[in-house]
Structure 1
Amino acid sequence: MMRPQRGLYLGLLIFPLSPLLGGIAIVGVTAWYWWQKGRSQLQQPLTWSFGLAAFLLLLSSLQAHDPSISLLGLANFLPFMAIFLASRALIQHPQHRQHLSDVIVLSSLPVAIIGLGQQYLGWHGPIRFGWLISWELEVGGTPPGRMASVFGYANSLANFSLIAWTLAIGLTLQAWRSQQTSRVAAGLILICLNSAVLLATSSRNSWGVAVLMALIYGIILGWHWLLGVIGAIAALIFGAAFGPPPLQSPLQTLVPRAIWARLNDDLYPYRPIETLRTTQWQFAWDLSQERPLWGWGLRQFPQLYQEHTGVWLGHPHNLPLMLLSETGILATLALGLPIGWIYYQAVRHLKQQQSQPDLIALTLLLAFTATSLFHLVDVTLFDARVNILGWLLLAALDDGKSIPQYKKPEIS
């Protein structure tokens, strides 16, 4: 393994626990790459594509009602584009993709242990060690009753664990196919731990996406029994949550209340209309219609929504709508089209395989799909630990051939 990859993996391994130390390692590798290979990187169409997106995001921010706030919002995008462009060159071979998947899953182990301790053993903070570690670790989670572990909010933990859970399944299947007994056992443990975390976060988004990922695994691998099991469990849960009274009562004795009451909102019976996602989505859409080209500027949604409803919300719980309303259609397309092209090429490459699918490639594709779907009903990229995973998964999907590359001519 090359030294740059080691730095990237080491940073990624410690990033959930210490964003500062992990960030230093990842940014260090990125800076090294741009110093060594920046000139050739600038000759590649993909770099120009993201450069255009960055330029349009900057223009949108400069035209915002409060440019200073919007310019700060660029920190959630521009540095990660640079990391993506560097890491896609460092994750070129199947072994690199295997290592990346291993590291992400392994990094979820201490997060899960701390979260389970927080939720069931009374572990609490705040725990701080200078700038290196800063965990709030509130008793019972954040919000109350929902596990957050070292993350600031349950939904961020749910997205992180959803990615790790999806990868853990694929890695375990790969180990099972290769008859690596010890790795299968370790994988099963990590799947169970992340499953417990997903349940304890009470994130309906992650539950729905996890079920979909399991179904996709079952369909692709031809495991019809798995589809039957998932279907039976889903019918049991939905019957407990939404079934008619004669059927609902006995099913509710079988299904934990934390699950069915979360699905039908019995846990939170009163929800103001301003907090509903449909209300937020409609408002974001209306904003995008008023300023379709340049949007209102990054990070402007919270202030505009509070002025309109009297309720503060950090985002509209949908990434495409957030981008359309805050950055306009030009920047949204400039950012989304190259990402969509890489994804399309990754799917196409898998479909062209005649024999058994490449499980690692499939797993990385599903993990990126999972976090993308999650961002249709929530926006967790404001947590750098979730944000970086999305970009690194995208980098792993790009085999360097999805968009033609320009090479410097050799001088004889």
Structure 2
Amino acid sequence: MPLIERLQQHRPSVATRSGWLAFQLGLFLLASSLLLAVIPLFWALLEGTRHHRPRWWRDRVNLWLVAVAVLMTCAAPFARSGWLAWPGLVNWLPFFWGFWGFQPYLMTPAARRRITQVLVAGTVPVVVTGLGQLLLGWSGPWEVLNRLVIWHMDPGGLPPGRLSGLFDYANVAAAWLAFSWPLLLAVAVSIGRQWWGRWSWKQPTVLLLVVSQLAALYLTDSRNAWGAAVVAVPLVLGPARWIWLLPGLSLLLLPVLLAVLPGIPELLQLPARAIVPEAIWGRLSDLAFSERPLASTRLGQWSVAVSLVADRPWLGWGAAAFSLVYPERAGVWHGHPHNLPLELAISFGLPAALMIVGLVVWLLVRSLQRGMFGADPFERGWWTAFVILALLHATDLPLYSGQINVVGWILLAGLRTAAWPRPSGLRPDV
């Protein structure tokens, strides 16, 4: 079958042929380069907007986001951060459009399954370059298209010793690898069901991808990524396997907990630390940063952030204001509070923050009620991928990377389409 025809498989009937191809191409390129991905994704967005039925004003979720957009825009003229508040809106308002305009490509489980596979394939360059960076000494800059696209690839990672690959920073690479991990697990579960039926090249290929991505996750030295790798496994495998999986995971994690938790007797902690690599238990117990002042920790940032929200609860301080106000109150510079709800409340006010967080929680619950956590591992993987991203934003803000922001809204759009019965007029899944 010709490649173009294969790529047209699983296309929802409300999606145009060119839009469906552009959507897949853009998501495949997204991890490698936002610049390369923007053109096909923008075309897909235009096509999705033009052919979306029903129209946007008939969806109450869109009206909810319009109200949030109004609140955010009203906050900008009163911002402590001045003119920076206006470009700060770019991190939000265009994505409200994308949330609606990309939904035609995610209308069916088969379409979401295809997009899951595309995102997994697009993650391969991140894994390969990241492992090459730390294990083989690869470094940039790498340039294509007459220097239009440049991958800097810092020698030894950024920060040094931590895998960053094609991204500017290890925590961003960790966020991408963490959310795509449950998607890869869904592919592995699907392929694994065929393992005893018939052998093909897919099984060893997927196994290699699983091992490589686990290695890359570990080398990011991100505690969030490590936690995501563990949390995703029972969620993607599903409740039917919890009866043996959860006790098994608990036994595997017991030495880590004994090595990390304070107050554990040395009789238990020392043998546990002999089993668990020091790179893990030292990082989890924050060994390298145990002497940091409170103002440089998450707890210090969150306490100041809460006081800022209390001082200006209705319209906030403006986008990027935290980086201006925090040094005045704590004497240390930080660009953001490492928590998305707090960042929203500081930038645009508490009502806008509660509306965004409430919508996300509602869609997660609603999609569960509609059976997204059922028998299909791809649906469980999709739901878990968004949960992982949401958890990452509780202690960091990877959305300030354009790639993470785009994929987060696309995952949320997929939850939106899964939260309601399939609209009439769509062809059956193929």
TM-score by length of 1: 0.91
- How far has the Cα of 1:58 moved from its partner? 1.2
**2:399 maps to which residue?**
381
Q: Does 1:304 align with 2:315?
A: no
Q: 2:148 and 2:30 mapped to 1: Cα distance?
A: 10
Q: CA offset at residue 138 of structure 1?
A: 1.3
Q: Secondary structure at the match of 2:369?
A: helix
Which region of structure 1 is more displaced relative to structure 2, 129-138 or 289-298? 129-138
Task: Please say if 1:255 is aligned against 2:276.
Answer: yes
* Counterpart residue identity of residue 106, structure 1: A
Match of 1:208 among 227, 236, 244: 227
**1:163 and 1:368 in contact (8 A); partners too:** yes
CA distance in 1, matches of 2:43, 2:329: 43
Q: 1:228 aligns with which of 247, 254, 262?
A: 247
Which residue is equivalent to 1:66? 81
Q: Shift in Å at residue 87 of structure 1?
A: 0.9
- Aligned residue runs from structure 1 range 151-162, under 5 A: 151-162=167-178
Could you tell me which amino acid in structure 2 is paired with residue 30 of structure 1?
A: L
- The equivalences for 1:19-38 within 5 A come to 19-37=34-52
Letter in 1 for 2:339: N
Cross-structure match for 1:281? 302
Deviates more, 1:219-228 or 1:275-284: 219-228
Would you say how many aligned residue pairs link Structure 1 and Structure 2?
A: 404
Residue 42 of structure 1: aligned partner: 57
Q: Which residue of 2 is the match for residue 119 of structure 1? A: 134
Contact between 1:105 and 1:190, CA under 8 Å: does it hold in 2? no
User: How many percent of aligned residue pairs carry the same amino acid?
Assistant: 30
Secondary structure at the aligned position of 1:375 is classed as helix
Following the alignment from structure 2 to structure 1, what is the Cα–Cα distance between the partners of residues 169 and 419? 38
CA distance in 1, matches of 2:20, 2:76: 34
Match of 2:12 in 1: none
Alignment match of 2:69 (pick from 51, 54, 57): 54
Specify the alignment match of 2:11 in structure 1: none
Partner of 1:167: 183
Q: What does residue range 9-408 of structure 1 map to in structure 2 within 5 Å?
A: 9-37=24-52, 40-129=55-144, 130=146, 132-178=148-194, 181=199, 182-217=201-236, 220-242=239-261, 243-350=264-371, 357-399=375-417, 402=420
CA deviations on 1:54-104 (whole Å, 9 max, x unpaired) are 121111122202331011111111122211211112211122101110011
Measure the CA separation in 1 of the matches of 2:271 and 2:322: 44
Give the counterpart letter for 1:164 in structure 2.
S
Q: Would the aligned equivalents of 1:294 and 1:327 in 2 still touch at CA under 8 Å?
A: yes
Evaluate the alpha carbon distance shift between residue 92 and residue 258 of structure 1 in structure 2; reply closer, same or farther with a 3 A threshold.
Answer: same
Report the Cα offset of residue 310 of structure 1. 2.6
CA distance in 2, matches of 1:95, 1:341: 23
Deviation at residue 375 of structure 1 after TM alignment: 0.6
Report how far residue 276 of structure 1 moved. 0.5
> Measured at CA, do residues 126 and 260 of structure 1 come closer, stay the same or move farther in structure 2, by a change above 3 Å?
same
Structure 2, gaps ≥5 residues long: 1-7, 9-16, 426-430
1:243-288 deviation per Cα after TM superposition (whole angstroms, max 9, x unaligned)? 4323333332322211111011223343222110001011111111
State whether residues 288 and 295 of structure 1, in contact with CA within 8 Å, keep that contact through their aligned partners in structure 2.
yes
Structure 2 CA distance for aligned equivalents of residues 3 and 28 of structure 1? 8
Cα distance, 1:381 vs structure 2:
0.1
Q: Distance in 2 between matches of 1:33 and 1:170?
A: 27
Q: Provide the secondary structure at the position in 2 that maps to 1:134.
A: strand
User: What code does the residue aligned with 1:303 have?
Assistant: L
Instruction: Tell me, in whole angstroms, the C-alpha distance in 2 between the residues paired with 1:402 and 1:28.
Output: 26
- The whole-number CA distance in structure 2 between the counterparts of 1:89 and 1:63 is 37
Single out whichever of 81-90 and 27-36 deviates more from structure 2: 27-36
The change in CA–CA distance for 1:402 and 1:276 in structure 2 (over 3 A counts) is same
Matched residue, 2:428: none
**C-alpha spacing 1:346/1:37, structure 2 compared with 1 (3 Å):** closer
How big is the shift at 1:359? 1.8
Q: Distance in 1 between matches of 2:236 and 2:52?
A: 38
SS at match of 2:143: strand
- Consecutive unaligned residues of structure 1, counting only runs of 5 or more, are 408-412
Which aligned runs of 4 or more in structure 1 are off by greater than 6 angstroms?
Answer: 403-407
Distance 2:53 2:109 in 1: 24
Q: Distance in 1 between matches of 2:239 and 2:419?
A: 24
